[in-house]
């Protein structure tokens, strides 16, 4: 979920006009906004946040596209990496990491893409501790209502039967954006499948997040990349996963 600077400027302009402070204040705001975007030219993460990169990538996790730390590791020490990746981000395409294509990004100049790609390639060392196997191996064991014991890669509860804030935020987002098709409490509806069942019948986290971000346009499943970032997607996944195994009951979970 993001607000654009133009959205903010427009809102501020309307407010300024309403308050009768008139054009002078409005013009000052527009100039401030222009100064800010000129400043952004040398700033890779900012350009990437203003574009769509982080709706498909994260530094240390695979989302729809590979983790930037994995990209940095793969191309480390390859002299032509920058020019190759500049072309790839500009023109899009698939094949190096799987079948899912990256969309083209013709809006950037080559110089901007070089700044961005150099930033991506620098994520190697920085992300290494977070990507270490020990981190991925951390599990939380839960006894399920049906008697099974299950190891999850995220905690569901933080304090007695109160859910973690991630699970709670996942419920809030599900309950605002997904429920109208996938049913209140994620039980499914005539419009869209029961996502508890999808996960229980073997859909992995990465498949879940890929379908969620990419959508299935010809089947009526909207695409959420650009609206939700990877952290949002992770929270929604956590809520649905906890529902699918019966750890979170119907209704508003207590945080
Ligand atoms: C809609 C999803 C999506 C968006 C948006 C997206 N990417 Fe990607 N990206 C992918 C996928 C999928 C791949 C893997 C492509 C492949 O297998 O060759 C990828 C691969 C990459 C690679 C590695 C390319 C290679 O050939 O190894 C880089 C670098 C990259 N993306 C950077 C970016 C940047 C920078 C942006 C924003 C300007 C961006 N991506 C936006 C999905 C996306
Ligand atoms: C406008 C209706 C609609 C909304 C809103 C919607 N979905 Fe869907 N979704 C669908 C439909 C329809 C399908 C089945 C697509 C198909 O048949 O391949 C689907 C499929 C999925 C699947 C794949 C399930 C499977 O078993 O293949 C996932 C995961 C999913 N949606 C997640 C979400 C999430 C998360 C949200 C909220 C952010 C959401 N959807 C919002 C209509 C919707």
Residues, the chain, total?
A: 255
One fold for both 44-130 and 139-244? yes
**Could you give phi then psi for residue 249, rounded to 5 degrees?**
-85, 165
Beta-ladder partners of 221: 216
* Ligand number nearest to the C-alpha of 209: 2
- 74 C-alpha vs ligand 1 centroid, how far in Å? 14
What is the average pLDDT across 93-108? 94
Give dist(CA 194, CA 28) in Å, integer. Answer: 51
Q: What is the CATH number of domain 44-130?
A: 1.10.760.10
- In degrees to the nearest 10, what's the CA dihedral of 98, 203, 68, 87? 30
- 60 C-alpha vs ligand 1 centroid, how far in Å? 14
What is the average pLDDT across 216-227? 92
Domain regions of the chain by residue span: 5-42, 44-130, 139-244
Give dist(CA 59, CA 228) in Å, integer. Answer: 16
* Straight-line distance from the first to the last Cα atom of the chain, in angstroms, rounded to the nearest whole number: 22
One CATH from 3.90.950.20, 3.20.20.80, 1.10.760.10, 1.20.1250.20 for 139-244: 1.10.760.10
Pocket test for ligand 2, best of 170, 173, 210, 221 (most atoms within 8 A of CB): 221
Q: Give pLDDT tens digits for 121-148.
A: 988 754 444 334 444 467 888 988 888 8
In order of 49, 73, 79, 86, 90, the CA distances from 121 in angstroms are 17, 8, 12, 11, 16
pTM to 2 decimal places: 0.54
Give dist(CA 14, CA 19) in Å, integer. Answer: 9
- 206 C-alpha vs ligand 2 centroid, how far in Å? 14
* Ligand number nearest to the C-alpha of 223: 2
| Predicted pLDDT of residue 125 | 55
């Amino acid at each position: 979920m993001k607000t654009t600077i133009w959205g903010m400027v427009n809102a501020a302009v309307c407010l300024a006009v309403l308050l009768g402070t008139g054009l002078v204040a409005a013009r000052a705001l527009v100039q401030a906004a222009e100064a800010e975007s000129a400043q952004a030219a040398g700033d890779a993460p900012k350009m990437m946040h203003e574009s769509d990169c982080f709706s498909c990538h994260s530094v240390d996790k695979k989302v729809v596209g590979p983790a930037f730390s994995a990209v940095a590791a793969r191309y480390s020490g390859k002299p032509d990496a920058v020019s190759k990746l500049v072309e790839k981000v500009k023109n899009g395409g698939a094949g190096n990491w799987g079948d899912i294509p990256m969309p083209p990004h013709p809006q950037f100049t080559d110089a901007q893409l070089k700044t961005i790609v150099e930033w991506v390639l620098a994520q190697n060392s920085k992300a290494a501790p977070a990507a270490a196997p020990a981190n991925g191996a951390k599990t939380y064991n839960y006894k399920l209502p049906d008697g099974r014991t299950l190891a999850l890669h995220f905690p569901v509860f933080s304090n007695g039967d109160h859910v973690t804030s991630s699970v709670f935020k996942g419920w809030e987002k599900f309950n605002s954006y997904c429920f109208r098709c996938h049913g209140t409490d994620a039980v499914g509806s005539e419009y869209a499948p029961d996502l508890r069942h999808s996960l229980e019948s073997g859909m992995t986290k990465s498949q879940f997040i890929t379908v969620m971000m990419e959508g299935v346009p010809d089947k009526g499943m909207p695409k959420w990349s650009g609206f939700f970032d990877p952290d949002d997607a992770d929270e929604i996944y956590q809520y649905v996963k906890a529902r699918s195994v019966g750890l979170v009951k119907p209704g508003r979970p207590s945080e």
